[in-house]
Structures are given as structure tokens and as C-alpha cells.
């Protein structure tokens, strides 16, 4: 994944300090401090920016001599009553940490050095991981190395591996009772691997950890400090090795660990639980607070829409948070984080059965006004329970398209089922609105078309230099470029694009197709392109963060999807003055007409043949003809480019969409009639509470089985890939006619081992 190491947490203080959070802290941060003033300010900001404000921060000055560092410590400690400073003679990092543990007033300890950083949700996620997993002794996250070295650190936990290699960082949320059970950190006159030593002693005592997914801890790498000192001093290094070996010898067995996201979910039926706490994160309640319930944050049209909502809404009037419900690398999370208050990826730190409780905690602790849902299957099935629990909450959603190839309509169907719970459903085109009303029987007044649009100021061809994309791919400026920008998945029919490219070579031999994007089909698409001899016709640019240069150098944009709402790529292409040739799906024809491109009939049955890769000659030919006719007349082509830009300027502005959302949020929050209607629905659902909770429970059970099925499918896919590779090698061995055959046979036996593959090779030799 792409990771921006410049986006360090704590660069600045993000929000005013919360004065009343000193009351009843729920966890204790312990920081040893020794002449560490140079980095303390950034660490201070990263702690103060935590979304979980109910902590105490104990800083133990371990005999610092640097007056400047002590002045910085005193100044920062005076800014927040949650900070308590203790001074002691120099005794080392373990002594300082143990002092902090003794002085702590909570049952959860978080060690944090004075130069390291934590992401805003670090404390909150680890606290709730331990809250929901009472059997766990500690919880930790993945980490980011920064400073002198930059890297991402994610290792699956293994207590056996821990005996010879420290795969954990020092910071975590640790139950105090376990620290006391092993007498805290071992104190010594000489430095050694204190944190590794502690983890081994905890494992030897029977402690079980939880591994939370997410790069939430930033570990500053520098040419100094305890670990650097040990590595440079051979005597210290040897002493440390002996101590670790002694502690490792007491770890007798492989300790089980909870690795998030979990592969298999609970097999039992669990009813959703509501969080009963009353603490509030913000004070006062001065803005409309919006919770976006999403599947994930990755490259794609729906996610770009979500990102636009987060980045463009007026932050003086709206406070936005995000919760996601599908396990993912969330490649775009850093982008979203720039514009929202907090992001919680539920699969990364909680079991599915605990998600409802955390969502209810979030709504209560943030005093959420609006729940805005998009493409979260879990979110839709939780809506009746949420409405029952929160009668004042505005609930809305956005449907990007109907999809007949799964779920009898996809999210359009789940939205339609929940029409009486939802107060407003926005859709991205008129065709989808008609489907919602006619097919799914939604009340017409509750469904409204809201075209996404784009920003014509950002997508302005006059502000972008020509030639960047062509130079990067090494394509001559005289060649016409057909841009294919999308996530490479079945919905986009990328193999149809290859067929179009093959056929177009007979008409326009120098045409170049540029594929911008990645996805599950990328590898196979590249292989097929080579096999079909398209290496000089189809070029793969990979995923690009900035699409402007690629539109600028394109002659046309090709969209041949089997399903779209209105493709965001179509909006962007037209805004850049680039005509679009598209399949007639979703609302594409609402945006594209003969003046700005071509809309071609869909000749593939979405419901029956969604995954097919055999396309009719008529369909392939229609695209080839459209491309040829569009590019063959330069004068008409230029008129089309001008009209494309003009169409976006006149009727499809992104700002118009954002303004409509803001206006709707404000109206629905303040409308008393709607508020009474919400309460009526909530009371009705309370009368059928057992049905509401049971439906969620059944969904959880179904989701668990679906996750298992997906896991089995992935394992089967690996087996098939291995079998295919072995079969190819067997065939190559069979075809050999030289003295090397026996050597090859023996080598193959060594690699594959006994069993079916060996029987297969013997059968081949016999034949």
C-alpha cells in the first residue's frame, strides 16, 4: 500500500483541550522523560489530539539535567490537568515506567516514550478492544517507523517466534493487574531490551495478547537511544541476549492470540447490545455531527464521492466521523483523515458481535445528529435497531446504483427494504430513482436524485500541462489515446476493453489504450494483453493519485461497464474536455449524449452473465465504430471537446451537490414534524423489539457463514493455482527428450513431495 510518511500525527494541536476529562480517567499513559525536550511538543500534541479524552498522563522525569528540556516539560504539563509530572533521580527507563505504574489510578497502562507518536484513535481502539475482550492481557497495533528510517511494521504474532525475535513494539494497552503479577519492568543498572523482556515474562505467566490491525503507533528511529546503545556495545549486547534467553526459556507453549481482522467469526447467535455509558467527547454541541457508515476507503467512484463529501462540507457547521464495516487495507484512509474528526475500522479491532455496541457508544459519546449510510451491508441491517435506540437521529443514505447480479438489486434493494426507517435516500441518477420507486416500492417523496458532478475549477484542462502521461508511458504525441480509468474488476469489463483494442488495430493501427487503475483483475489482464500481442497497444499505468495529466493527454475516455450509476470518470473526463464513449447503463445517458460522446447499447445480461468474458462481435464492433467515427473528423471532434467542458460547467457542479447535502442535513435536523415521525417509528420498533434484535442476530450468523465461505474459496483458489502450476511443469517435463529429464523429475519430486502430484507425473511418464 502507498503510505505517506510525512503525515505524522501531532504536527499541530487539532482541537481545544477538554478541561473536565480529568474526572475519572479510564487509562493511564506512562512516559519516562530524560532530557527529551526536542520532541516532546509533537508527542504532546499527538496525545492531546486523542479521540478518547478520559486518560491521565503520568510523565516521570528520570533525573534530567537539560534545563531547556525541563522548561519545555513544565510548560506543556501546565496546559492540561490530565498531566501529572513526577521527578526522581536517574534510574533508567524501567525504573521510570515502574514509578508511573505505581502512581497510576486506572487499570489500563499505556507506555509511551517522549519522542514517539500515536494516531488520534490509538487510545480509543485499544481501550475498547480490551473492554470487549476481558480475557486479553494487552492489546497492541501495527507501527510506523519514521525519522532516520521509514517503514511499516506488521507481523502476525507468534509466542514461539518471540523467543528469538522481538516482533512487538514497546507500546500497547496493558492491564495493570498483569504488570503487577510479573512485578513490572525489570530494573537494571545497565540497558537491555526491557520491553521484549516484559513481553516474554507476561507470556510465561499465561498472558494472552490481542493484535489490532492498523498503523496507529509511530516509532521514531534515530541514531541514539537504548536499542542503538545496546547494538553498538558488544558487552551490553551479550548481557541483553542472556537476559532474553533466560526469559524465553520460561515460555513453554504457543500462546493463542486474537489477530484482527478475524478470519472466522462467531458461530453463535448474538443479540446487539447498546452501550450504557454517558460520557461525551465534545463540549459544547456547537455543530451538526455527521457519522458516515461506509464499507471501506479505497480507490473507486463511490469512495471518491465519500471523500468529496468529507473534504468539501463546511467544517464550521459540520463535524464528520467515519466508521467502516469491511476488512480492508483502506488505501485512502490518510486522505480521508485530513478532513474528518475520527475514523474507526471496526474489523480492525472488534469482533462482529461487538460492532453494534461500539456504534451506539459512538453515537452517544459524539451526540451524532445525522447517520449517513452508503454501501455498508451491515449498516443497512442494523438500521431498525439504531432507529429503535436513537429516536432523534436523522438517518439517510446514498445509493449509487442497482445491481441485479447480486442480492436481487444490491444496495438499492436493502435501501428499499429500509425505506420506512430511512428519512431520505439520495440516488445518483433518475433511472435508479425509478427503480427504487417502481421495483422496491419506495415512497417517491423520500427518494431524490442528486448528481455527484465534479469541480470544474479543479478539472480545468487549461491548468494542466500536456505530455506528462505520454512521456511516462513513452507514447508518441501523434498517437490517439483511449483512456480506460477504473478499478479492474468484473463490473468494469476490462477484458472487453482488450477485445476492443484488438479490433481497433485494423482501423487505427497507432491507437494506444492506457489503463489507469488497479484491482483483482490487473495481473490476469496484463498476462492476457501479452498473450494477445497487445504490448504495443495497451499500456498499464497502475493506480494514479492525480488523474488530471491522464485526462489531459487522452483523446477519448472509454467506459464499457456492465453496471454504473453515473461513473465519476465520466464527470471528470467531460470537465477536462475529453469526450466519453460509454455503455448505456445506469444514468450514463443522463450525462452523455451525441454532443459530448457516444452511448452504446449493453448487449450483456447483467443478472445472468455478469462474469462472462465472451462478448458478441456486434458489441465489440459498436465500440470500434464509435471510436473511429469520433476521431475521424477533427472539426467535429473539437466541437465535442468544447461541448463536453461546457456541459459540466452548466449543470453538474460538485459544489451544487455539496450545498444540497448541507441544506438537507440542516433541514432534517431542525424539522419538528420529522422529529415526531422519527419518534413514532422508534416507539413502534420498541414494541417489536425481539424481532428487531433477532434480525440483526440472524444477519451476524449469515455474515459469519459468508466469511467462512469466502475463506474456503480463497484457500481453494490457492490450491487450484498451485495445481495449475504443477500441471504446467509436469507437461514441460513430459515433453523433454534429453538426459536432463531424470534430474528434472527428481527436482520436481523434492519440491512437491509425495501424493497426488507424484502419481500424476508417473501416469504422464507411462503414457
Give the three-state DSSP class for 425.
strand
Q: How many CB atoms lie within 10 A of CB 31?
A: 27
Which of 716 and 39 is assigned the larger pLDDT? 39
Q: What is the mean pLDDT of the chain?
A: 89
In a domain, 267, yes or no: no
Q: How many CB atoms lie within 10 A of CB 321?
A: 22
Rounded CA separation 398/426 (Å): 5
Nearest partner of 571 among 375, 428, 399, 410, judged by Cα: 428
- Model confidence at 754: pLDDT above 50: no
Rounded CA separation 209/136 (Å): 5
In a domain, 269, yes or no: no
Q: What is the pLDDT of residues 41-61, one digit of tens each?
A: 999 999 999 999 999 999 999
pLDDT, mean of residues 596-618: 90
Q: How many CB atoms lie within 10 A of CB 676?
A: 11
Q: Does residue 253 sit in the same domain as residue 367?
A: no
Name, in order, each residue with C-beta under 8 angstroms of 628's C-beta and a sequence gap of 6 or more: 504, 507, 508
Instruction: For residue 233, name the pLDDT band (cuts at 50, 70, 90).
Output: low
Q: Does residue 717 sit in the same domain as residue 675?
A: no
Half-sphere exposure of 334 (CA within 13 A, CB side): 14
pLDDT, mean of residues 166-190: 93
Q: Does residue 59 sit in the same domain as residue 198?
A: yes
Which of 160-164, 233-237, 310-314 is the least confident region? 233-237
Nearest partner of 513 among 531, 499, 492, judged by Cα: 499
Which of 22 and 665 is assigned the larger pLDDT? 665
Q: Does residue 43 sit in the same domain as residue 124?
A: yes
pLDDT of residue 262: 85
In a domain, 271, yes or no: no
Please give the grid coordinates belonging to residue 537. 497497444
- Model confidence at 612: pLDDT above 90: no
In a domain, 268, yes or no: no
Q: Does residue 331 sit in the same domain as residue 477?
A: no
pLDDT of residue 765: 44
pLDDT, mean of residues 697-725: 72
DSSP string, 583-613: ES-TTHHHH--TTTEEEE---S-HHHHTT--
Q: Does residue 435 sit in the same domain as residue 466?
A: no
**517: exposed, middle or buried (Cβ count in 10 Å: 0-12, 13-18, 19+):** buried
pLDDT of residue 277: 87
Q: Does residue 300 sit in the same domain as residue 184?
A: no
Q: Does residue 231 sit in the same domain as residue 292?
A: no
Q: What is the pLDDT of residues 485-518, one digit of tens each?
A: 998 999 999 999 999 999 999 999 999 999 999 9
Examine the fold and report which residue of 243, 259, 275 is the final residue of a domain before the chain moves on.
259
Please give the grid coordinates belonging to residue 459. 478539472
Over its C-alpha atoms, the chain yields an Rg (Å, rounded) of 30
Range of the domain at 43: 19-259
Instruction: For residue 661, name the pLDDT band (cuts at 50, 70, 90).
Output: very high
CATH number at 501 reads 3.40.50.2000
Q: What is the pLDDT of residues 667-684, one digit of tens each?
A: 999 999 999 999 999 999
pLDDT of residue 738: 45
Rounded CA separation 170/102 (Å): 19
Nearest partner of 647 among 580, 721, 731, judged by Cα: 580
pLDDT, mean of residues 643-654: 88
Q: What is the pLDDT of residues 522-550, one digit of tens each?
A: 999 999 999 999 999 999 999 898 999 99
Q: Does residue 670 sit in the same domain as residue 728?
A: no
Rounded CA separation 487/226 (Å): 46
- Model confidence at 16: pLDDT above 80: no
Structural contact between residues 322 and 336, judged by C-beta atoms closer than 8 angstroms: yes
- Model confidence at 356: pLDDT above 80: yes
Rounded CA separation 567/485 (Å): 10
pLDDT of residue 230: 59
Going along 35-147, which residue ranges are E strands?
55-62, 83-88, 108-111, 117-118, 138-147
- Model confidence at 552: pLDDT above 80: yes
Which of 141 and 728 is assigned the larger pLDDT? 141
Which of 27-36, 273-282, 480-489, 492-501 is the least confident region? 273-282
pLDDT of residue 453: 86
Nearest partner of 128 among 52, 67, 76, judged by Cα: 52
Sign of CA dihedral 649, 651, 657, 659: positive
If one counts the domains in the chain, the total is: 4
- Model confidence at 757: pLDDT above 90: no
**553 phi and psi, to 5 degrees?**
-90, 0
**541 phi and psi, to 5 degrees?**
-95, -10
Q: Does residue 122 sit in the same domain as residue 94?
A: yes
Q: Does residue 55 sit in the same domain as residue 108?
A: yes
Examine the fold and report which residue of 614, 630, 652 is the final residue of a domain before the chain moves on.
652
- Model confidence at 301: pLDDT above 90: no
Examine the fold and report which residue of 629, 652, 675 is the final residue of a domain before the chain moves on.
652
pLDDT of residue 611: 84
pLDDT of residue 758: 47
Instruction: For residue 556, name the pLDDT band (cuts at 50, 70, 90).
Output: very high
In a domain, 13, yes or no: no
Please give the grid coordinates belonging to residue 441. 416500492
In a domain, 273, yes or no: no
Instruction: For residue 766, name the pLDDT band (cuts at 50, 70, 90).
Output: very low
Q: Does residue 439 sit in the same domain as residue 489?
A: no
Structural contact between residues 615 and 605, judged by C-beta atoms closer than 8 angstroms: no
In a domain, 663, yes or no: yes
Which of 167-171, 410-414, 480-484, 542-546 is the least confident region? 542-546
CATH number at 115 reads 3.90.550.10
Structural contact between residues 176 and 107, judged by C-beta atoms closer than 8 angstroms: yes
pLDDT of residue 231: 61
Percent of the chain with pLDDT over 70: 88
In a domain, 1, yes or no: no
Instruction: For residue 278, name the pLDDT band (cuts at 50, 70, 90).
Output: confident
Amino acid at each position: 500500500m502507498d503510505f505517506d510518511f510525512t503525515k505524522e500525527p501531532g504536527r499541530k494541536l487539532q482541537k481545544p483541550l477538554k478541561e473536565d476529562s480529568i474526572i475519572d480517567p479510564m487509562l493511564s499513559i506512562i512516559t519516562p522523560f530524560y532530557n527529551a525536550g526536542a520532541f516532546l511538543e509533537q508527542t504532546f500534541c499527538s496525545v492531546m489530539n486523542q479521540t478518547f479524552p478520559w486518560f491521565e498522563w503520568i510523565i516521570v522525569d528520570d533525573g534530567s539535567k537539560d534545563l531547556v528540556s525541563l522548561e519545555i516539560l513544565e510548560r506543556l504539563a501546565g496546559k492540561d490537568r490530565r498531566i501529572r509530572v513526577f521527578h526522581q533521580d536517574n534510574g533508567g527507563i524501567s525504573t521510570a515506567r515502574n514509578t508511573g505504574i505505581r502512581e497510576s489510578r486506572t487499570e489500563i497502562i499505556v507506555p509511551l516514550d517522549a519522542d514517539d507518536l500515536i494516531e488520534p484513535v490509538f487510545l480509543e481502539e485499544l481501550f475498547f478492544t480490551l473492554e470487549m475482550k476481558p480475557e486479553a492481557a494487552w492489546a497492541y497495533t501495527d507501527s510506523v517507523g519514521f525519522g532516520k528510517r521509514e517503514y511499516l511494521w506488521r507481523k502476525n504474532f507468534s509466542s514461539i517466534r518471540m523467543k528469538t525475535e522481538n516482533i512487538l513494539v514497546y507500546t500497547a494497552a496493558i492491564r495493570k493487574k498483569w504488570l503487577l503479577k510479573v512485578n513490572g519492568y525489570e530494573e537494571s543498572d545497565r540497558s537491555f531490551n526491557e520491553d521484549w523482556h516484559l513481553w516474554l515474562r507476561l507470556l510465561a505467566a499465561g498472558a494472552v495478547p490481542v493484535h489490532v490491525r492498523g498503523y496507529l503507533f509511530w516509532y521514531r528511529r534515530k541514531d541514539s537511544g537504548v536499542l542503538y546503545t545496546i547494538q553498538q556495545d558488544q558487552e551490553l549486547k551479550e548481557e541483553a541476549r542472556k537476559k532474553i534467553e533466560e526469559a524465553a526459556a520460561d515460555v513453554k507453549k504457543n500462546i493463542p492470540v486474537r489477530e484482527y481482522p478475524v478470519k472466522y467469526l462467531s458461530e453463535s447467535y448474538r443479540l446487539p447490545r447498546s452501550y450504557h455509558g454517558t460520557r461525551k467527547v465534545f463540549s459544547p454541541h456547537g455543530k451538526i455531527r455527521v457519522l458516515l457508515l461506509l464499507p471501506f476507503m479505497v480507490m473507486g467512484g463511490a469512495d471518491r464521492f465519500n471523500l468529496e463529501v468529507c473534504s468539501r462540507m463546511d467544517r464550521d457547521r459540520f463535524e464528520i466521523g467515519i466508521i467502516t464495516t469491511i476488512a480492508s487495507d483502506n488505501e485512502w484512509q490518510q486522505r480521508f483523515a485530513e478532513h474528518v474528526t475520527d475514523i474507526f475500522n471496526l474489523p480492525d479491532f472488534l469482533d462482529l458481535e461487538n460492532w453494534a455496541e461500539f456504534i451506539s457508544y459512538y453515537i452517544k459519546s459524539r451526540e451524532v445528529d445525522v447517520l449517513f449510510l452508503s454501501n455498508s451491508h451491515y449498516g443497512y441491517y442494523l438500521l431498525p435497531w439504531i432507529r429503535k435506540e436513537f429516536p432523534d437521529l436523522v438517518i439517510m443514505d446514498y445509493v449509487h446504483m442497482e445491481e441485479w447480479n447480486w442480492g436481487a438489486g444490491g444496495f438499492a434493494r436493502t435501501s428499499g427494504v429500509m425505506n420506512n426507517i430511512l428519512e431520505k435516500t439520495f440516488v445518483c441518477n433518475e433511472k435508479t430513482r425509478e427503480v427504487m420507486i417502481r421495483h422496491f416500492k419506495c415512497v417517491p417523496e423520500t427518494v431524490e436524485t442528486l448528481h455527484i458532478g465534479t469541480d470544474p475549477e479543479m478539472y480545468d484542462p487549461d491548468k494542466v500541462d500536456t505530455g506528462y502521461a505520454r512521456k511516462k508511458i513513452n507514447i508518441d504525441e501523434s498517437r490517439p489515446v483511449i483512456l480506460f480509468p477504473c478499478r479492474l474488476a468484473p463490473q468494469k469489463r476490462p477484458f472487453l476493453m482488450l477485445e476492443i483494442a484488438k479490433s481497433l488495430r485494423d482501423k487505427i493501427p497507432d491507437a494506444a489504450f492506457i489503463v489507469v487503475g488497479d484491482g483483482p483483475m490487473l495481473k490476469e489482464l496484463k498476462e492476457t494483453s501479452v498473450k494477445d500481442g497487445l504490448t504495443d497497444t495497451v499500456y498499464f499505468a497502475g493506480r494514479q493519485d492525480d488523474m488530471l495529466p491522464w485526462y489531459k493527454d487522452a483523446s477519448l475516455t472509454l467506459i464499457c461497464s456492465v453496471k454504473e450509476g453515473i461513473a465519476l470518470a465520466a464527470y471528470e473526463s467531460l470537465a477536462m474536455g475529453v469526450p466519453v464513449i460509454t455503455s448505456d447503463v445506469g444514468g450514463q445517458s443522463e450525462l452523455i449524449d451525441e454532443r459530448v460522446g457516444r452511448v452504446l447499447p449493453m448487449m450483456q445480461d447483467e443478472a445472468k452473465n455478469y462474469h462472462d468474458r465472451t462478448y458478441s462481435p456486434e458489441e465489440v464492433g459498436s465500440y470500434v465504430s464509435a471510436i473511429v467515427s469520433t476521431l475521424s473528423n477533427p472539426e467535429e471532434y473539437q466541437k465535442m471537446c468544447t461541448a463536453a467542458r461546457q456541459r459540466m460547467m452548466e449543470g453538474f457542479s460538485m459544489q451544487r451537490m455539496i450545498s444540497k447535502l448541507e441544506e438537507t442535513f440542516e433541514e432534517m435536523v431542525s424539522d419538528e414534524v420529522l422529529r415526531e415521525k422519527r419518534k413514532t417509528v422508534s416507539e413502534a420498533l420498541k414494541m417489536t423489539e425481539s424481532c428487531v434484535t433477532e434480525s440483526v442476530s440472524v444477519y451476524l450468523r449469515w455474515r459469519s457463514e459468508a466469511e467462512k465461505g469466502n475463506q474456503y474459496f480463497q484457500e481453494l483458489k490457492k490450491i487450484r493455482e498451485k495445481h495449475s502450476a504443477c500441471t504446467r511443469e509436469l507437461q514441460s517435463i513430459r515433453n523433454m527428450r534429453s538426459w536432463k529429464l531424470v534430474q528434472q523429475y527428481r527436482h520436481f519430486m523434492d519440491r512437491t513431495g509425495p501424493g497426488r502430484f507424484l502419481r500424476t507425473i508417473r501416469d504422464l511418464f507411462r503414457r
